[in-house]
Amino acid sequence: MAKALFKIDPIFSQLIKRILYPLGMLVVALFGGALGYYIIGIKLGKEWSFLDCIYMTSITLTTVGYGEVFNASNFSIYKIYTIIIMWLGLGITLYAISTITAFVVEEETAHYFRRRKMLNKIAGLKGHYIICGAGRMGIYVIDEMFRTKNTFVVIEKSEDRINKILEDYPNLLYINADATEERTLKNAGIENAKGLIATLGTDSENLLITVTARYLNKNLRIVARCIDDNLVEKFKLSGADSVVSTNFIGGLRLASEMLRPTVVNFLDRMLKALDPSIRFEEVLVKEESSLVGKKISESQIRENTGLTIIAIKEASSGAFLYNPSKEYKIMPKDVLIVIGNADQISKLRHMAS
C-alpha cells in the first residue's frame, strides 16, 4: 500500500508524456546547441557570450535566419556544427511544437481540467458514500443512490463504463482509476466518507478493497459483495461490516418467489428502485434530538412527516420491536424503521438529528 502513495496520477502522467517530454527535448536542444557554440568559440579564441550562443541557436532552430551572429564562417568546425544543429535541432523543434499544439487543441486539455475540478469537489465531501465498481451489479447501486438523493462517488477502472453511465447520470461524481489502490480511495475522500460498497467482479479485489478501506478509516461502514460463500467470514475478519453473498441472496429469492410471491412483490416496490416514491429506511436518533425522551404519540412524527414507525431497533438491547406502541419512549441511538418517500425520510432525519 505504501507504493501506491508514490504512484503518478494517470492524468498527470499523460500531461508529462504529451507536453513536458517534448518541451524538455526542446530546452535540451536549445541549451545543448548554445553550449556547443560556446565551446567552439573557446576553441577558436572567440569571446562569445552565452546569450549570443543561445540567440544563434534559436535563429538556427527556428529557421528565422536573421544572419550570422558570430564572425566565424571561415572555420569548418563552425559550419559543420551549424549544419548539425539545423537538421537535428529542426526535427526536435518541429516534433515538440506539433506535439504540444496537438495536446492544447485536443479535448484532452479540457478533460484534464474537468477531472481536476471534480477531484477538488470530491475532496470537499463529508459523510458521503463510495461505490467501488460500476459493473452489472454496481449500476443498480448507483441508480438507488441517485433515487434516494444520497451523495456518493463512483470508482471505476473502465473508461467505457464511465462514459456509458454518464449518458444517464451526467452529474455523476467519479474517479476513473483502480479502486484497489490506496491512492484512489484517498482521492475519493475515504477519510471523510460514511460508507463504502465494494461491488467488483472478483472476491480477491473486493477483499483487498475491504482491507485497505478499513485501514484508512476505522469508522467507515463497509458492505462487500462476495461470490464464494466460504469467504464470508474472511471478509468480516478483514473489516467488512456486512457481506452480501450473491449466491445466497439469489437462492433465497428463488424460494421466496415460489412460496410468498405477494410479499416479494411488495418488497420489490420499495427495494428494487422500480418505484422511487416509497422505500424502507432507517433513521438513527441522535442524543441531541428533540425526539429523545418523548413517547411516539408525543413526537409528532406522523403529523410532521406523514411517516409511520413500523419497527424500532432498541439502543439498549439491540433487539427489534415491531409495531411499537404509541407509549414507547424514544431513546438516544434508537434506530427508527419506516416506510416513505425521500422527502418524508429527509424530514424525519432532520427531527432525529
The pLDDT tens digits for 129-138 are: 999 999 989 9
Give residue 238's pLDDT band: very low, low, confident or very high (50, 70, 90).
very high
**Whole-number Å distance between alpha carbons of 191 and 181:** 14
Q: Supply the Cα-derived Rg of the chain in whole angstroms.
A: 32
On the 0-12 / 13-18 / 19+ scale of CB atoms within 10 A, 184 is buried
Q: What is the mean pLDDT of residues 328-352?
A: 89
Q: Strand, coil or helix: what is 153? A: strand
Residue 136 identity (one-letter amino acid): R
> Going from the N-terminus, what domains does the chain have, and what CATH number goes with each?
2-105 (1.10.287.70), 126-252 (3.40.50.720), 277-352 (3.30.70.1450)
Give the helix/strand (H/E) hosting 336: strand 335-340
Please tell me which residue, 271 or 99, carries the higher pLDDT value: 99
All three cell numbers of 138: 454496481
- Express each pLDDT in 184-202 by its tens digit: 999 999 999 999 999 999 9
All three cell numbers of 89: 535541432
Q: What is the mean pLDDT of residues 154-169?
A: 92
For residue 199, the tally of other CB atoms under 10 A from its CB is 25
User: 0.85 cut: is pTM over it?
Assistant: no
Q: Minimal CA–CA distance to 70: which of 84, 56, 57?
A: 56
Question: Is residue 1 predicted with pLDDT exceeding 60?
Answer: no
Give residue 3's pLDDT band: very low, low, confident or very high (50, 70, 90).
very low
Give residue 161's pLDDT band: very low, low, confident or very high (50, 70, 90).
very high
- Express each pLDDT in 15-33 by its tens digit: 666 677 788 888 888 888 8
